[in-house]
A = this chain, B = another copy of it.
């Protein structure tokens, strides 16, 4: 039984057997209530958190709070790889537009092509909505650049500005691990995609 819990913890990223063991013993010896709360929170979230039908981020409601907001500028659309990236950008405090979340990055080898990534939906958005600028905020990795390039090519058919988040972000780094000042800088210094 303890072994099953150990294994279940190992499903978490970066958690090996030793760490899992520490988690289990800590909860059992010092915080059983914490263990039960964690179980309850897990069930709640796994069962109720879906994807926003508009931007595809994780959300308990059909529309996330950013998509539902009337004060956010709907003419700007910032494209990111993951919901955590939205969180990082929001913390920088300099962006007031909307978002679109890809399912990661283009990776034909793993079977993730344009439609798996959500680019069909993105194209529809650009067709139907009054978007004036698309900000490509995929990661500064090779995959992120390739993905940004692909989206830029697709977006060229529309009369909108295509910008790329500035490379204040260290090359090879990921948004998720960048401090918010650098993110703010990178957003404010964004340049036209060419």
B8 near A41: Cβ-Cβ < 8 Å: yes
Nearest 9 pairs of A and B residues by beta carbon: A11-B34, A39-B42, A8-B38, A5-B41, A8-B41, A39-B39, A35-B46, A5-B45, A13-B26
Please list the residues of chain A having a beta carbon within 8 angstroms of any beta carbon in chain B. Answer: 1-2, 4-5, 7-9, 11-14, 19, 21-29, 31-32, 34-46, 48-49, 58, 60, 82-84, 87, 176
Per assembly, the copies of the chain total 2
Measured CA separation A156–B19 after assembly (Å): 38
Are B84 and A49 neighbours in the complex by a CB distance under 8 Å?
Answer: no
Residues of B with C-beta under 8 A to A8: 34, 37-38, 40-42
A14–B25 Cα distance when bound, in Å, is: 13
Query: What is the predominant secondary structure among interface residues of chain A facing chain B?
Result: helix
Q: A1-B48, A39-B43 are in contact. Are A25 and B60 (CB under 8 A)?
A: no
In contact, B26 and A12 (Cβ under 8 angstroms): yes
Q: Are B35 and A42 in contact (CB under 8 A)?
A: yes
Q: Are B60 and A46 in contact (CB under 8 A)?
A: no
- Find chain B residues with CB under 8 A from A82 CB: 25, 29
